Structure 1
């Protein structure tokens, strides 16, 4: 958990929203990946714990596939839960659904993946800080992304002026295409380690658990 000095300033927190994308159907895995055992709970529990550690002014959780089971299993207190009926159309549809629930005064939106429990709160706070320092509110930089040892990855932070572009995306990898299209708006945050693993297959899950065991 980040120290008090790492938490978002009180004046900024109400204007920063975290969106957790957890609406996938887990087709490649064959079972709800949000509910895979992980640590003392399940995968989505770990992601929600990270979001809570960040002190977002608003946390929006997008559900779709296995939404009822997730709702019965995972503690979602403090989240605004939205259901995406079009989750089969790709991640962009969940982003649009979640953005519709974001408070209109929000300055920055952070995207987190519901199947990526290794993302740390310190990384989230770093991309928010980099965006603000680079002039996110003034319209200079619009996107902040982590630059890991092996490439760029989540968490991603978007300034308010980029939210219409984010809401208009279509498909599963559209966010990365937006980063390519708006390269001049992107600021990268140097982040130690490799891109956190997201779970799409049983092999991914085994690798994730092996890493967790190795860290104990």
Structure 2
């Protein structure tokens, strides 16, 4: 059997209201948080990638090479994270559909291609429909969904994240330990702590 085709959606459409400026362009180790996410996606074994932008998209686009990753706008980003995820999934399925998708954010600086590849390899090994990262006694993104869940993903609304679906199908989920996954950037203090 051939390898399932994997797509990655980077959700980067939010307006970073708690930070006060686009966190996509906040810097860690000489790179923007968004660039770190793009590098992780591009370094992974995924077949297709898409970056979904929303708020401040023109400003953010100046900070990375447009040729480095397909990127699309979500004009409805204010409707919440779900609309961004749906936009990305629709894009991936349009021309050359994928069999599974990894949802990732742009504010987890320790996500790298290794952890993304681990999600793919654990899925291949276990055959589970969902593979999530485990940290801080919970689980979350990056998270992989097989195509059986695509219909449920496109039904999400508002700020419902993919985690809601994973919570409801834990019998079909495998976890990958990723303690550093708990680190994300929402405020200036988070950024300071990160750069210490």
In structure 1, how many angstroms separate the alpha carbons of the residues matched to 2:26 and 2:136? Answer: 27
RMSD (Å), alpha carbons: 1.8
Deviation, 1:150, is 4.0
User: Is 60-69 or 35-44 further displaced after alignment?
Assistant: 35-44
In structure 2, how many angstroms separate the alpha carbons of the residues matched to 1:169 and 1:149? Answer: 25
Matched, 1:205 2:188: no
In structure 2, how many angstroms separate the alpha carbons of the residues matched to 1:51 and 1:196? Answer: 19
1:99–1:190 CA distance, 2 compared to 1 (3 A): same
3-state SS, counterpart of residue 66 of structure 2: coil
Aligned to 2:98: 106
Matches within 5 A, 1:109-120: 109-120=101-112
Deviation, 1:52, is 1.1
3-state SS, counterpart of residue 50 of structure 1: helix
Deviation, 1:198, is 1.6
3-state SS, counterpart of residue 154 of structure 1: strand
In structure 1, how many angstroms separate the alpha carbons of the residues matched to 2:163 and 2:97? Answer: 25
Matches within 5 A, 1:75-90: 75-90=65-80
Deviation, 1:149, is 5.5
In structure 2, how many angstroms separate the alpha carbons of the residues matched to 1:117 and 1:12? Answer: 28
TM-score normalized with structure 1 length = 0.82
In structure 1, how many angstroms separate the alpha carbons of the residues matched to 2:153 and 2:195? Answer: 32
3-state SS, counterpart of residue 62 of structure 2: helix
- Post-superposition Cα deviations, 1:162-191, rounded to whole Å, max 9, x if no partner, equal 111111111224322211112222111233
1:81–1:194 CA distance, 2 compared to 1 (3 A): closer
Matches within 5 A, 1:1-216: 12=3, 15-103=5-93, 104-135=96-127, 141-148=128-135, 150-191=137-178, 193-210=179-196
Provide the aligned length of Structure 1 versus Structure 2.
Answer: 193
The answer to whether the 8 A contact 1:21-1:112 is kept is: yes
Q: Which runs of 5+ in 1 are unaligned?
A: 1-10, 136-140, 211-216
The answer to whether the 8 A contact 1:119-1:196 is kept is: no
Higher RCO (C-alpha 8 Å, min separation 6)? 2
